[in-house]
Amino acid sequence: MRGRKREELVDAGVESPLAVAVDHRDRGTLAMVRAALERGDTALAYQPVVQAGNGKSVAFYEGLIRILDETGRVIPARDFMGAVENQDLGRLIDCAALRAGLRALKQVPGLRLSINMSARSIGYPQWKQILTRTIAHDPQVAERLILEITESSAMQMPELVTAFMGELQDKGITFALDDFGAGHTAFRYLKDFYFDIVKIDGQFIRAVQEDPNNQVLMQALISIAGHFDMFTVAESVERPEEAAWLAANGIDCLQGYLFGAPSLSPPWLAPKHLKSARR
């Protein structure tokens, strides 16, 4: 009887206690994120992207946005990023990331830094204003800024992304296609996009030195990127054997915990890091 009653409630659209609890948790997390943005409790965590074959030479850093609660603890991105992608809250997160990245670039001459963005932020006035005002006052910042757009985001509005990239590349900004190979890109669009860098998704990197399938796929992705004259970065590199295979097979740069976890403390403040970041 109880089982039948539960089914009747589900069929009638009555939410289960678990669904209600999950919804309440998600609403609470989003409220915390919004409050943190209003307080300005955000920061970038920096992860190095190193040259293949020379893991000590930093090509650039990626700045990953972190949202902090009232106690200073990081709110895990997995708890809210999927829910905010199509909301204004997602655009505000992109604004916070861009603002922090541009500030770091102005403070550290010679630093190269990549910042993540959604294609949906292209038409968001506040985000565009932050970018255009900064590069108008300091054009050299644009030459050291890399904007990362994921495959899935770019493919939602490819024509808009193409026009946006064409406009800003004339100002010196570099563009990276994030999570390349994850399954969203129609390769026919690659000739129309203006991506300078492709970051190959980590699913192809894991144990690549001993996985024939990943080896074939990696070689194909590297070849495609080379055909379009795009610089290649392998994501999620965690083992020396992976790094060695990738370097031997033509990858340009490597990123992952093998070379450094994202850090809220700017790593280039140490003299040895600053020297490599300026190269």
pLDDT in tens, 214-264: 999 999 999 999 999 999 999 999 999 999 999 999 999 999 999 999 999
In a domain, 214, yes or no: yes
Alpha carbons 207 and 230: distance in angstroms, whole number: 24
26 part of a folded domain: no
Q: Beta-carbon neighbour count of residue 171 at 10 Å?
A: 15
Residue 181 lies in a domain: yes
Residue 141 maps to a domain: yes
| pLDDT of residue 171 exceeding 50 | yes
Tell me the CA distances in angstroms from 148 to 39, 118, 196, 213, one per residue in order: 26, 8, 10, 27
Query: 45 in the Ramachandran plot: left (φ > 0), alpha (ψ -120 to 50) or beta?
Result: beta
Residues 37-47: tens digit of each pLDDT: 999 999 999 99
Report which of 214, 218, 259 is spatially closest to residue 236, judged by C-alpha positions: 259
Q: How many domains does the chain have?
A: 1
In a domain, 243, yes or no: yes
At 54, is the pLDDT very low, low, confident or very high (cuts 50, 70, 90)?
confident
Query: In which domain, by residue range, is 182 found?
Result: 40-277
Across the chain, mean pLDDT equals 87
Distance between CA atoms of residues 34 and 21, nearest Å: 20
In a domain, 221, yes or no: yes
CATH number at residue 96: 3.20.20.450
**Does residue 10 sit within a domain?**
no
Whether residue 266 is contained in a domain is answered as yes
